[in-house]
């Protein structure tokens, strides 16, 4: 099945789709403006060289509502980690590689000044630009969060109120995840269901990969780097959710969707779900 078939989009719709944007449906004029901005900002990118540093960079990526905030909140609780608590999007293509490298260098400099060992960043849409991250920071660790499509689409549907949008977004981001799994051997794939079922085991192994001192207290609820003053909407909801103790929440899609809606989700997501090991017996965590 091709990506266009799985997304349920025609040729014209695909031309107006920007997969790097949360609001991926664009008018043709907006699409052209985006392409022009991306082209101008990436002039000279071939001259950018990898950053040499002893600071470990770690990027949490994946489809939105697949546990990226939860993962970042727990990794960000480590004393040795510098985590700003917001999505920077520094490697999205419209910024240009030069600007991306400059932003990463500034964060690395902050780590050195603060005496931190790891720079942590979470932008779900970075799942589409892992090659750009690796260009600038070859040693960066990428934590890819995946979650069964029915529950992910249910969460997206609750936020945006559009089932077709939810399925489109999951398929686009899942396609990028499948491509990344085939290209990057050091990719760390974590299934949301495994994180919520066995948070201690999953997080302890990740702490080890990052060279961090394990502290089981990070699994418990409490304050995180998402505790900003003045948050509203989805970010305020995320702040409350990640501050709670990690617990399983299966069957969200089964409860929310009708039988016909569930069939539609399964029909359009099954190929990518299979490739990601998201069948009932699939095990996708590689640590």
Give 10-residue mean pLDDT values along the chain (287 residues): 43 64 86 87 86 97 94 93 91 94 96 97 97 96 96 93 95 96 94 94 96 88 66 62 71 87 94 86 38
pTM for the whole thing?
Answer: 0.87
- Cα 89 to Cα 100: distance, rounded to the nearest angstrom: 9
- Cα 129 to Cα 133: distance, rounded to the nearest angstrom: 7
3-class secondary structure, 250: coil
pLDDT at 13: 45
Please count the residues of the chain.
287
- Cα 201 to Cα 230: distance, rounded to the nearest angstrom: 34
Tell me the percentage of the chain whose pLDDT exceeds 70.
84
pLDDT at 229: 47
Inter-helix orientation angle 233-242/68-75, to 10°: 60
3-class secondary structure, 52: coil
What tokens does 111 get? 């780590």
**In terms of C-beta density within 10 A (0-12 exposed, 13-18 middle, 19 or more buried), how is residue 263 classed?**
exposed
Distances (CA, A) of 178 to 6, 162, 276: 14, 24, 6
Nearest to 258 by CA among 178, 150, 179, 185: 150
| DSSP state for residue 47 in the 8-state scheme | G
Query: Where do the domains of the chain lie?
Result: 48-275
pLDDT tens digit sequence for 189-211:
999 999 999 999 999 999 999 99
Find residue 56's DSSP bridge partners: 118
Q: Is the dihedral of CA 273, 22, 37, 58 positive or negative?
A: negative
Element (H, E) at 191: strand 188-191
| Distance of alpha carbon 44 from the chain centroid | 27
- Cα 86 to Cα 235: distance, rounded to the nearest angstrom: 9
Superfamily name with CATH number, domain 48-275: P-loop containing nucleotide triphosphate hydrolases (3.40.50.300)
| Distance of alpha carbon 138 from the chain centroid | 18
Contact 24, 169 (CB under 8 A): yes
pLDDT at 5: 42
């Amino acid at each position: 099945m091709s990506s266009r078939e799985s997304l349920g989009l025609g040729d014209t719709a695909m031309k107006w789709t920007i997969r790097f944007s949360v609001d991926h449906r664009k008018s043709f004029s907006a699409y052209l403006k985006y392409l022009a901005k991306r082209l101008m900002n990436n002039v000279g990118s071939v001259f950018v060289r990898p950053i040499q540093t002893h600071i470990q960079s770690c990027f949490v990526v994946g489809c939105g509502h697949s546990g990226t905030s939860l993962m970042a909140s727990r990794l960000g609780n480590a004393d040795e980690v510098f985590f700003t608590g917001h999505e920077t999007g520094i490697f999205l293509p419209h910024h240009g590689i030069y600007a991306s490298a400059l932003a990463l260098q500034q964060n690395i400099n902050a780590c050195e000044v603060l005496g931190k060992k790891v720079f942590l960043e979470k932008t779900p849409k970075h799942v589409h630009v892992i090659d750009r991250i690796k260009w600038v920071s070859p040693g960066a660790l990428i934590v890819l969060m995946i979650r069964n499509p029915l529950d992910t689409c249910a969460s997206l549907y609750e936020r945006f109120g559009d089932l077709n949008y939810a399925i489109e977004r999951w398929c686009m981001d899942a396609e990028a995840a499948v491509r990344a799994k085939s290209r990057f051997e050091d990719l760390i794939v974590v299934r949301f269901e495994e994180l919520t079922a066995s948070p201690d085991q999953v997080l302890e192994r990740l702490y080890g990969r990052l060279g961090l001192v394990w502290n089981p207290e990070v699994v418990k609820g409490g304050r995180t780097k998402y505790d900003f003053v003045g948050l509203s909407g989805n970010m305020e909801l995320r702040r409350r959710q990640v501050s709670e103790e990690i617990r399983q929440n299966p069957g969200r899609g089964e409860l929310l969707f009708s039988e016909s809606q569930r069939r539609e989700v399964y029909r359009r997501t099954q190929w990518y779900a299979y490739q990601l090991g998201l069948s009932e017996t699939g095990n996708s965590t590689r640590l």
